[in-house]
């Protein structure tokens, strides 16, 4: 059984074929598909201060943080004091995240002795335009002591291997600009 969006697309294609108005119907189908297909922004953080490079920018719109995965070497040292905080340049400026602890940062709790932590969220942000290059910074949960340690080989005790962040958003294209 076809889902409702696919039934609508099938009906539109039949109308286009019968009326020979194919260009109008193709435009409508592309617009219609965009309403049901959301974009996903995924990036991997492997350094304390990192420039993330995407193949294209994303126009300002509602972004929803859906999932964060923290992979680390599972020893108790160093003590991250309950997790880490991530600052992302397209969510900075004091307008998206207000907190008495970590303003402009997303707090990511994890246990020091767990190798993998999966956190499912549904946090909505009205992000500004995201350039194809943006910056991230990672800190200990309470910002005390030594910096967060990243080691992609896993050879350093307690080091973070990486942090994956997954956002979904409405549209890759800004149709108001055409």
Task: Decide: helix, strand or coil at residue 95.
Answer: coil
- The reported pLDDT for the residue numbered 20 is 57
**Mutual angle of helices 4-19 and 22-36, in 10-degree steps:** 170
Q: Which domain range does residue 18 map to?
A: 4-36
Q: Let me know if residue 44 belongs to a domain.
A: yes
Chunked in runs of 10, what are the mean pLDDT values of the chain (178 residues)? 54 60 55 61 94 89 90 81 88 69 83 90 83 92 79 87 91 59
pLDDT of residue 138: 93
Does some domain include residue 163?
Answer: yes
Are 30 and 103 in the same domain?
no
CA separation for the pair 117, 104 (Å, rounded): 22
DSSP annotation of 173: S
Residue 175 forms part of a structural domain: no
In a domain, 107, yes or no: yes
Let me know whether 130 and 68 are in one domain: yes
Domain membership of residue 46 (yes or no) is yes
Verify that 66 and 150 share a domain, yes or no: yes
Specify whether 87 is located in the same domain as 126. yes
> Is 136 in the same domain as 49?
yes
63 and 103 inside one domain: yes
Residues 6+ apart with CB under 8 A from 19: none
Task: Identify whether 177 is part of a domain.
Answer: no
The verdict on 16 and 53 lying in the same domain is no
Q: Is residue 176 part of a domain?
A: no
Does 27 lie in the same domain as 45? no
The answer to whether residues 160 and 99 belong to one domain is: yes
The reply to whether 88 falls in a domain is yes
Query: Do residue 28 and residue 45 come from a single domain?
Result: no
Q: Identify whether residues 83 and 25 lie together within a single domain.
A: no
Cα first-last separation, the chain: 36
In total, how many domains does the chain have?
2
Tell me what pLDDT residue 37 has: 56
CATH code where residue 146 lies: 2.60.120
């Amino acid at each position: 059984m076809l889902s409702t969006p696919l039934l609508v697309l099938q009906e539109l294609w039949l109308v286009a074929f019968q009326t020979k108005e194919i260009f109008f119907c193709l435009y409508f189908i592309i617009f219609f598909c965009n309403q049901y297909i959301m974009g996903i922004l995924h990036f991997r953080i492997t350094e304390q201060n990192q420039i993330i490079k995407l193949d294209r920018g994303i126009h300002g719109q509602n972004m929803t943080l859906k999932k964060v995965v923290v992979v680390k070497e599972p020893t108790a040292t160093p003590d991250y004091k309950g997790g880490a905080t991530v600052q992302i340049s397209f969510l900075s400026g004091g307008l998206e995240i207000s907190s008495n602890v970590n303003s402009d940062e997303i707090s990511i709790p994890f246990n020091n002795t767990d190798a993998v932590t999966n956190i499912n969220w549904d946090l909505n942000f009205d992000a500004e335009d995201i350039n194809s290059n943006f910056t991230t910074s990672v800190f200990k949960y309470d910002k005390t002591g030594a910096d967060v340690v990243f080691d992609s080989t896993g050879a350093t005790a307690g080091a973070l291997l990486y942090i994956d962040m997954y956002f979904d958003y409405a549209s890759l294209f800004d149709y108001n600009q055409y």
